[in-house]
Amino acid sequence: MGGGGGLESAAATWRKTLGGCTFPRVRGQTPAPAGLCGDQMKPFALFFLLALNVLPTFADPPVAMQDGEALRYRVRWGIFGHAGEIVVAAEQGETAGLPQIRISTHTKTRGLIRGLYLFDGDGECVFDARDGRLLAIRAWSNTSKKATKTMAVFDYNEKLVNYVDFIRPERNAELPLPEGNAMDLITSLIGTRRWDMKPGQRIPATVMFDKDFYELEIVAGDYETVETPLGTFKTLVLIPTMEKNPKGMFKRGATVRVWISQDEQRLPVKFEVGMKWGTGTALLSEYQPPLKGDQVANANPSP
């Protein structure tokens, strides 16, 4: 589907930007489950920070996004049809002999909205390519009034998450890991393609937001037809809910919905964050498929 060249260039630029991000405790680490890449902020920032939590596409391998794959979303906010942009890209690599998938996310406001509310953010998740578990996460954001920079490394030998806030070090903490596989919200949603969900079904998921773990249920809604810049898709709506002891954004009445295409690719073609002060919507505008075997070989030549 369209626009691969532009996506490839953008993805390469942001991979270089993120390339300096290192996670010293990852080497030799026992594979870890997925987690959230981002922080919770107010109004518009909350929408973009949720996007930093990774919007990978569906795939058969353990990690939900494959090497070379990239997605670009156009963000709509109220009357502003192009209020921002989100680009998600995946790159395969290796650290100390451990095969990894790095999924990076870049978000920013655009146009008139940017003049009113500046937002730039980058996020990166490092996954074990063998089983899809998360090894480390990093998130950075800058708004007109606030900056954030955090990192978390998952230590499954000790059953801890080592969380570091570089701007507010008083928030640094060692967090106990819950039972089961904690995941980021979006990865939980898109991972449901393996569950073959039908309308009305519910599946529990443990989700990490910043420093907290949330016990959610992913609810399959109705089938809907969605129009995007890439075309028209038949989709299934997925809705995370927190009915018992809601907290954070759920306690404040926020809602999240993701529309998954019901074709072979199972792309997240639309997602929406609703809050009391407005609703942000992201529509898939460009998609770059993963590299094929020969392309991977050319991209990673032997020495």
Distances (CA, A) of 83 to 2, 5, 45, 54, 69: 21, 23, 12, 19, 24
The domain tally of the chain equals 1
* Any domain includes 297: no
What's the pLDDT score for residue 277? 73
The two tokens of residue 74 are 């156009």
Which is more confidently placed, 172 or 182?
172
Instruction: Supply the pTM of this predicted model.
Output: 0.75
* Any domain includes 188: yes
Contacts 24+ apart (CB under 8 A), 236-243: 236/197, 236/199, 236/260, 236/262, 238/189, 238/192, 238/197, 240/185, 240/188, 240/189, 240/205, 240/207, 240/216, 241/216, 241/217, 242/214, 242/215, 242/216, 242/217, 243/217
* Any domain includes 32: yes
* Any domain includes 194: yes
Residue numbers of the domain that contains 149: 28-292
Which is more confidently placed, 53 or 123?
123
What's the pLDDT score for residue 252? 76
Half-sphere exposure (CA, 13 Å, Cβ side) for 163?
22
Evaluate whether 207 touches 183 at the Cβ level (below 8 Å). Answer: yes
Question: Across 90-94, 150-154, 193-197, 233-237, which has the greatest mean pLDDT?
Answer: 233-237
* Any domain includes 10: no
* Any domain includes 268: yes
pLDDT in tens, 247-293: 777 777 778 888 999 998 888 899 888 877 778 899 999 999 998 75
Q: From the CB of residue 217, how many other CB atoms can be counted at a distance below 10 Å?
A: 15
What's the pLDDT score for residue 183? 60
The whole-angstrom separation of Cα 61 and Cα 34 is: 15
Of 185, 290, 289, 281, give the one whose Cα is nearest residue 229.
Answer: 281
* Any domain includes 15: no
* Any domain includes 7: no
pLDDT in tens, 71-118: 899 998 878 888 899 888 889 999 888 899 888 888 898 888 888 888
What's the pLDDT score for residue 190? 57
Percent of the chain with pLDDT over 90: 21
Averaged pLDDT for residues 198-211: 82
